[in-house]
Amino acid sequence: MEKIKTFIHHLFIPHEENNFRAKSLHTDFLTVYLVIAFLMMIAFKQGNIHNVLGFATDISVDKLYQLTNEQRQKNNLSSLVLSSVLSLAAQRKAENMFQENYWSHYSPDGKTPWDFILGVGYKYEYAGENLAKNFLFSNGVVDAWMNSTAHRDNLLKKEYTEVGFAIVNGILNGEQTTLVVQEFGKPMVAGETTQNIPTISETKPIVEKKPEQIVAQKIIQPKINPLNFIFNLNIIFIIFLLLALAFDFYFASKFNIIRIAGKNTVHILFIVFILIGLFISAIGTII
């Protein structure tokens, strides 16, 4: 017990034996942290090669679906049914965005979201689309949609009865990107015509073709998402460094220690800015 106490004392409190600087902030220790951070970076990159689905994110269809319905229930609206047909439309839309390299509801050659929905044989009375890219977590996606009036209105439209999602990785504008496509719809009852398309005024003719046979999408989710694990590990690592700096600064002030070392105050400021930046980077963009 005494040994542990001495070790912690040596690690965090500046005194004669550690040359009046917390051992955890010595150059050799900082080098060890650097090597650990570098190895973490390499290991994560190598580990991702074999991970097929959303390696850069912790976004899942199940979670998006659950959060979407939670938001609707909070607003006294009916829950949406997860449609494999709309999910296929979303998947095709995302693939098309990567193929034609665009980030928009409309493709450069004029394809609209409704083309993808009708293209999989989904005849709708109402339809809508929300897009997101480069988010790290599912709740970040839904929160961003809820904070944008247009997306919120779409998500909370009472007319919708079904929803479909696709999470697809690819290269967009030369960058590794994770796209999230959310397609809403209300299937048309036989005999009715397409009436209403949100966010677009023109109506589309009903495509008179037999609906394609849809094979349900199998969603493969790793039990532990490496990104979530690494994100938390990063936060622990950063907080450890902050604490070490804070302790060192506090005791150096208390004992009036003058030594050759960097400024703890600016190290702390730098790390705090990086920590805030970490949370900003977890948020992607929506349209």
Partner 1 sequence: MAKHLYFNLRKEFKNHLFDYLLFITAGMFFLILLNIFRGQRTIEFCVLVSFAFFYIIWGVYHHIINETLHLKIVVEYILIAFIMIFLLKIIILP
- 40 burial (CB, 10 Å; 0-12 / 13-18 / 19+) is middle
Residue 188 or 278: the one with the smaller Cβ distance to partner 1 is 278
Q: How far is the CB of 37 from partner 1 (least distance, A)?
A: 4
Q: Who's near 112: CB < 8 A, 6+ residues apart? A: 105, 106, 200, 204
Q: How far is the CB of 76 from partner 1 (least distance, A)?
A: 32
Q: How far is the CB of 50 from partner 1 (least distance, A)?
A: 14
Q: Who's near 207: CB < 8 A, 6+ residues apart? A: 118, 119, 121, 123
Residue 85 or 132: the one with the smaller Cβ distance to partner 1 is 132
Binding stretches for partner 1 (CB under 8 A): 25, 27, 30-31, 33-34, 37-38, 40-41, 44-45, 48, 55-56, 133-136, 174-177, 227, 230-231, 234, 237-238, 241, 249-250, 253-254, 256, 260-263, 265-267, 269-271, 273-274, 276-278, 280-285
190's enclosing H/E stretch is none
Q: How far is the CB of 48 from partner 1 (least distance, A)?
A: 6
CB atoms within 10 A of CB 175: 9
Residue 211 or 277: the one with the smaller Cβ distance to partner 1 is 277
β-sheet bridge partners, residue 162: 81, 185
Residue 80 or 168: the one with the smaller Cβ distance to partner 1 is 168
Dist. CA 207–CA 272, nearest whole Å: 55
